[in-house]
Amino acid sequence: MLGDNFVWGGLHNVSPLVLVVFVGLIAVAVTKKLFDFFTSTSDPFGGLKPWEPKWFAGMRFWLGARDMIHDGYEKYKGKYFQLPRNDRNILVIPREYVDELRNYPTERLSSIQALINNMVGQYSYMDVLLESNLHTRVLQSKLTPNLANFTSAMADELNYALAKALPNVTDQWSEVEIYEVLRTIVARVSARIFVGLPTCRNDEWIFSSIRYTEAATITTMLLRGLPAIFRPFVVRALPSYWNTKKWVKRGADIILPIIDQRRVSAEKPGYERPSDLLQWMIDEAKGKESDTYNLALRELVMNLASVHTTTMSTAHVLFDMCQMPEYFNIMRDEMRIVLAEDNGWQRLTPTKLRKLDSMLKESQRVSPPSLLGFHRLVQNQPITLSDGKVLPPGTHVCTASYEISRDEDILPNQEYDGLRYYKLRDDPANDKRLAFAQTDKAHMHFGHGRHACPGRFFASNEMKMILTELLLRYDFKFVDGQGRPTNINADEFLYADPSTKLLVKKRVEE
């Protein structure tokens, strides 16, 4: 009979690769269907084609997120809609409900769990942040309130970093890989505050922290392009995953003895504790947080969070200026005036660069680190909103933050204006609210509410200082015949093109 022999005979002649792909696709579809059954809502999907199964749309989201998010926002503006990701469907909420959700306790609605899911934390080591909020406590209680006290140290390290990063620049144009230059500068200035002297000038530490950031980011990007069911198997074939582990070990080998030495020294009379992130975590740690390896790992993860996003954001601003070079003189004029009035970098000097602050915010509005914001994961109990909407446990909610900040009804005159917020802040009601590091329902690229990015005020000062010194010392322009590089999308993440080269030369003042 036709029966079994026909089936097995046919399978015998099929390529093993085809069988693997076929079985894999079935596994993806079934697994996603089961997972979505328990965690999805009944809301419509953005970017879903009429013929398209949701599991396939989830795979397409990896490279097509921008169009899919835009489609959902345009079709369902002011309403709930879902987006199909490889790992789960996520629910995009209207911005009107942000204030209702923003202050929910972590036990009910977790921002850190959503972040770890987004960053595939078990493979990037970011899941250490799930163990406690030690990093948030020290950033909010030690760094941010005392930020002005670190301006002098940051300026000192910036001088050192620029000399190391651009040693051969003359008064003639030359090409530089600007992303690598910026990343090294950011890593060094951040390290001055994160680990202090002399470790911040240990080239092996700087190199290890940069390479860990690079490897972990690549691993995240690649794994986010795969359904979650495949990740445990595929990850071990990724060179970036093994590089992540290698650089974590290298970095930990440097930091572990420093932690031990500081603890020994602290027992001696007259010991002056260093004022840096590492020491704050040592002092603040309780219980399991005090584990030496745990502290070293947190130090590396803080570098990942700081170096990657700050480098990207600084690159975007520089690209914007090269595209619209009239802003170079506008910003340089303000920089000269402020530094002259303050006689160099003083405690509050970064806060006086209001035009630059405006350009940072405008650049972030147009080229944010993510197209989605205000990520939260509903924990073990459902949440009922004021309109009766029920969010089941396991629901990942977020806002279409990019679309919101590009919405003409919310923010009129969408054409790029580097002085937009400088002008808006002339109104006393807007002065504090529209500063770069502040958040509201129209600007959620740092998040919003009690769980907004705890390091954003430090990042703001750091970017202002780096850009000021770069612009006052050097001229920049695109390589002849090239314009602003197109931003790179991977899932909802937005990246400045790291391969971009700029022409640079020392400034000659007229």
Q: How far apart are CA 150 and CA 323, in angstroms?
A: 33
Q: How far apart are CA 503 and CA 282, in angstroms?
A: 43
Report how many domains make up the chain: 1
Confidence at residue 21, expressed as pLDDT on a 0 to 100 scale: 41
Q: Is the pLDDT of residue 5 over 50?
A: no
Would you give the DSSP letter of residue 141? I
Confidence at residue 13, expressed as pLDDT on a 0 to 100 scale: 43
Q: Is the pLDDT of residue 453 over 90?
A: yes
Kind of pairing between the strands at 174-177 and 501-506: antiparallel
Confidence at residue 321, expressed as pLDDT on a 0 to 100 scale: 98
Q: Binding residue per annotation — 322? A: no
Judge whether 243 lies within some domain.
yes
Would you give the DSSP letter of residue 243? H
Judge whether 71 lies within some domain.
no
pLDDT band at residue 37, thresholds of 50, 70 and 90?
very low
Mean pLDDT of the chain: 92
Judge whether 59 lies within some domain.
no
Judge whether 50 lies within some domain.
no
Torsion angle defined by CA atoms of residues 71, 399, 307 and 331, in that order, rounded to the nearest 10 degrees: 80
Task: Give the range of the structural domain holding residue 418, as residue numbers without chain letter.
Answer: 93-506
Q: Is the pLDDT of residue 32 over 80?
A: no
3-class secondary structure for 332-386?
HHHHHHHHHHHCCCCCCHHHHCHHHHHHHHHHHHHCCCECCEEEEEECCCCEECC
Q: How far apart are CA 185 and CA 176, in angstroms?
A: 14
Confidence at residue 40, expressed as pLDDT on a 0 to 100 scale: 59
196 sits in the region (left: phi over 0; alpha: psi -120 to 50; else beta) called left
Average pLDDT over residues 403-412: 96
First to last CA, the chain: 93
Which domain CATH number covers 108?
1.10.630.10
Q: How far apart are CA 107 and CA 204, in angstroms?
A: 39
Average pLDDT over residues 365-375: 98
Judge whether 210 lies within some domain.
yes
Q: What is the pLDDT of residues 242-268, one digit of tens each?
A: 999 999 999 999 999 999 999 999 999
Largest Cα–Cα distance of the chain, in whole Å? 95
pTM beyond cutoff 0.85: yes
Judge whether 482 lies within some domain.
yes
Q: Phi, psi (5° rounding) for residue 244?
A: -60, -50
Q: Is the pLDDT of residue 503 over 80?
A: yes
Judge whether 34 lies within some domain.
no
pLDDT band at residue 17, thresholds of 50, 70 and 90?
very low
Average pLDDT over residues 9-15: 39
Q: Is the pLDDT of residue 26 over 60?
A: no
Average pLDDT over residues 36-65: 84
Exposed, middle or buried: residue 389 (CB in 10 Å: 0-12, 13-18, 19+)? middle
Nearest alpha carbon to residue 79 among 35, 45, 28: 45
Q: What is the pLDDT of residues 117-155, one digit of tens each?
A: 999 999 999 999 999 999 999 999 999 999 999 999 999
Confidence at residue 2, expressed as pLDDT on a 0 to 100 scale: 35
Judge whether 356 lies within some domain.
yes
Q: How far apart are CA 144 and CA 226, in angstroms?
A: 38
